[in-house]
Amino acid sequence: MTAPGEIVYFEGRFVAQAEAKVPITTHAFNYGTGCFEGIRAYWSPRQERLNVVRLQEHAERLLRSAHILHLEPPPGLTVERVGEIVVDLLARNEYREDVYVRPILYKSGATIKVTLSGISSDLCIYTLPFGDYLDIRSGLRVMISAWRRIDDNSIPSRAKPTGAYLNAALASDEARARGFDEAIMLTGDGHVSEASSSNLFLVEQGVLVTPQATDDVLVGITRDCVLALARERGLQVEVRRVDRSELLAADEAFLAGTGVQIAPVTEVDGRTIGGGGLGPVTRELQDAYLKVVRGETDEWQEWLTPVGAPETAGAGRD
Ligand code: PMP
């Protein structure tokens, strides 16, 4: 029996986690020059199997981030190959519970130069058992952060660079130090962008609203799921610029992301949102999303990749 997360993918091989070490001279360690993904896989008791959520889209975003950041992937690392490695890794770890998967494509070369081109890159992936990251039942109290969301012209917001998460960490730290659960970040010009590591949705008079991609949001894959589930239900959807005071006046608000799943927001900067509880639209979308990812329904099966037996035995280079 393998301990959860014991086997990782490192330098083209499946190895024990204790063996996956990088030297202190690694460029990514010095300058945050990597990009990463956060993927979830849920154990479905009904299907008796683990399903990875939107694996293809996560692999695509990883390689898109890499392209934007001049992180040339190792030869042969296609979207399909990333997907195969993730599935193989999960199978090798023999999970029968919900899991978080963390692929990182990073500048593995050793140079002191502050540059991106001409430095070798490598992929590593580790996994860990993962339940609810934030409370998704009772509602979050959030604050609008004094830290602004990184501007697309400073660090590309469509990429998911490791170094950029200093911005997210500053905001979420500030929120927690002040007794809040999470931070909402504004753009440099003061419009609502997103939470520290999830996208934001509002409900205003029955209309579902989320900030547009050009307001420095990471274009989230869960955000895409929410928009699809809302449109399927005939809800009116608006993807556009959102003002700060709109957030304070909303009937409902929630966060959406792989880690947070769908988490209702019931208070913003000391103002109660709607009735202060889980609103009807949030509840419906949260139920629908969790049913799909937990494999409790046959709808949206195209979002799930089942994990079977390990593709190859042993821990050899692939
Ligand atoms: N914004 C940021 C800054 C994030 O880190 C995340 C988590 N990846 C999200 C939004 C939500 O994206 P996704 O739904 O693809 O996990």
Phi, psi of 304 (to 5 degrees): -110, 135
Q: Is the CB of 149 under 6 A from ligand 1?
A: no
Q: Residue 100 and residue 208: Cα distance in Å, rounded? A: 28
Could you tell me the distance, in angstroms and rounded to a whole number, from the CA of residue 39 to the centre of ligand 1?
Answer: 10
Q: Identify any residues that bridge with 271 across adjacent strands, giving them in sequence order.
A: 268
Closest ligand 1 atom number to CA of residue 221:
15
Residues 6+ apart with CB under 8 A from 154: none
DSSP 22: -
Q: Is the predicted pLDDT of residue 290 greater than 70, yes or no?
A: yes
Predicted confidence at residue 309, as pLDDT, reads 64
Q: Ligand 1: distance of its center to the CA of 300 in Å?
A: 20
pLDDT band at 4 (very low <50, low <70, confident <90, very high): confident
* Residue 194 Cβ < 6 Å to ligand 1: yes
Radius of gyration of the chain measured on its C-alpha atoms = 20
How far apart, in Å, are the Cα atoms of 138 and each of 132, 134, 135?
12, 10, 7
**Ligand 1 pocket test target in 182, 199, 227, 261 with most atoms within 8 Å of CB:** 199
Contact between 237 and 207 under an 8 Å Cβ cutoff? The reply is yes
Per residue in 143-193, pLDDT (tens digit) is 999 999 999 999 999 999 999 999 999 999 999 999 999 999 999 999 999
**CB of residue 198 inside a 6 A radius of ligand 1:** yes
Give phi and psi for 102, each to the nearest 5. Answer: -120, 95
Q: Which residue has the tokens 């170094």?
A: 163
DSSP states along 207-228: EEEEE-GGGT----HHHHHHHH
The domains located in the chain, with CATH, are 7-131 (3.30.470.10), 140-293 (3.20.10.10)
Beta bridge partners of 107: 121
- Is ligand 1 within 6 A of the CB of residue 37? no
Q: Kindly report the backbone phi and psi dihedral angles of residue 257, in degrees, each rounded to the nearest multiple of 5, phi listed first.
A: -170, 165
Write down the pLDDT at residue 133.
72
Write down how long the chain is: 318
- pLDDT per residue over 12-53, tens digit each? 999 999 999 999 999 999 999 999 999 999 999 999 999 999
Q: What pLDDT, on a 0 to 100 scale, did the predictor assign at position 10?
A: 98
Pair of tokens at residue 26: 């690694």
Q: Which two tokens stand for residue 215?
A: 């307001």
CA–CA gap between residue 301 and residue 296 (Å, rounded): 10
Mean per-residue pLDDT over the chain, rounded: 95
Of the pLDDT bands very low, low, confident and very high (cuts 50, 70, 90), residue 312 is: very low
State mean pLDDT over 52-57.
98
Contact 253, 223 (CB under 8 A): no
User: How far, rounded to the nearest angstrom, does the alpha carbon of residue 261 sit from its chain's CA centroid?
Assistant: 9
- Sequence-separated (6 or more) residues with CB below 8 Å from residue 236: 206, 207, 208
Which of 72, 77, 90 shows the shortest CA–CA distance to 33?
72
Chain centroid to CA 249: 27
Q: Is 60 exceeded by the pLDDT of residue 313? A: no
Q: What are phi and psi of 71, to 5 degrees?
A: -105, 80
Amino acid at 73: P
Token code pair at residue 6 = 């014991």
Question: If you measure from the C-alpha of residue 220 to the centroid of ligand 1, how many angstroms do you get, rounded to a whole number?
Answer: 5
Q: Is 220 in the pocket of ligand 1 (CB under 6 A)?
A: yes
